[in-house]
Structure 1
Amino acid sequence: MVQRSFVRPRFRALPALLATATLLSACAQAPALPELSDTRWQGDGHPPTQLRLDASGQASGFGGCNRFSGRWRIEGGQLRLGPLATTRMMCLTPGGEQEGPFLASLEATRSARLEGGRLLLLDAQGQVLQTLQPAP
């Protein structure tokens, strides 16, 4: 016995069309990441935090008390920093207080954008984690 499909021919392509439209709209919503290879940035804390992203994928800088290093990469359209390793100096200065939140924000970064010459590091929801200036 032959089974007949009751789906009309004009609707057979509808699932594929909907899937394609969904993929295209997702691509259109994802902003392109700025070119970050071989860039240097600094925060406005005292002392200023620093972030360097080199072309080989190495991230390094200064958190306010300790130096740090790790990897950075663009993966699945997202910016990833870390894991980060730091030196272990004990700091009783304001720089020591800013270091933990600064390093945590770097590891939570999923995107970035340039705005007015500044680098904005964003979390997965698009919220600004850090605003950095070009380093001299």
Structure 2
Amino acid sequence: MIAQWGSEAAGQPSLVLWEDGRASGSDGCNRLMGSWSREGDGYLFSQMASTMMYCQGVDTWLSRLASARQVDGQLVISDAQGRQIGRLAPLES
């Protein structure tokens, strides 16, 4: 594992970047998986997929992940249109 952000608590988003270029995590309801690469001072995500469970009351914004960059220690998440959709704090391993 290279880094992880978010929370281990149920219903909360999390994201892990692995050395081999895999990305995995959860939007708080559904499992996420795909690939990541470095792009300048940020990250690009590709081939992202997720399970499709319905979870009432869970905001699944992280499932729209397309790119991210670190700002003040947090991971700022953007969608495919470059709009910021959320932030994740670092999670100590």
TM-score range, shorter chain: 0.7 to 0.9
Question: Residue in 2 aligned with 1:129?
Answer: 85
d(CA) in 1 for partners of 2:82, 2:24: 23
Match of 1:114 in 2: 71
Structure with the largest fraction of strand: 2
**Residue identity matched to 1:68:** L
Task: Identify unmatched segments of 5+ residues in structure 1.
Answer: 1-36
More helix by share: 1
Query: Against the structure 1 CA distance between its residues 102 and 125, is the aligned structure 2 distance closer, same or farther, given a 3 Å change threshold?
Result: closer
Amino acid at match of 1:86: S
Percent identical: 31
Match of 1:94, SS? coil
**Superposition deviation, residue 38 in structure 1:** 0.9
Instruction: Decide which of 71, 74, 87 is 2:51's aligned counterpart.
Output: 87
**Between Structure 1 and Structure 2, how many residues are aligned?**
90
Check 1:83–1:126 CA distance in 2 against 1; reply closer, same or farther (3 A cut): closer
Which structure has the higher relative contact order (CA within 8 Å, separation 6+)? Answer: 2
The structural deviation recorded for 1:128 is 3.4
C-alpha distance 126-82 of structure 1, shift in aligned 2 (>3 A):
closer
Gapped regions of structure 2 (runs ≥ 5): none
Q: How much has 1:58 moved relative to structure 2?
A: 0.5
Distance between the aligned counterparts of 2:90 and 2:62, measured in 1? Answer: 17
Residue aligned with 2:89, SS:
strand
RMSD: 2.8
TM-score by length of structure 2 reads 0.74
| TM-superposed deviation, 1:127 | 5.4
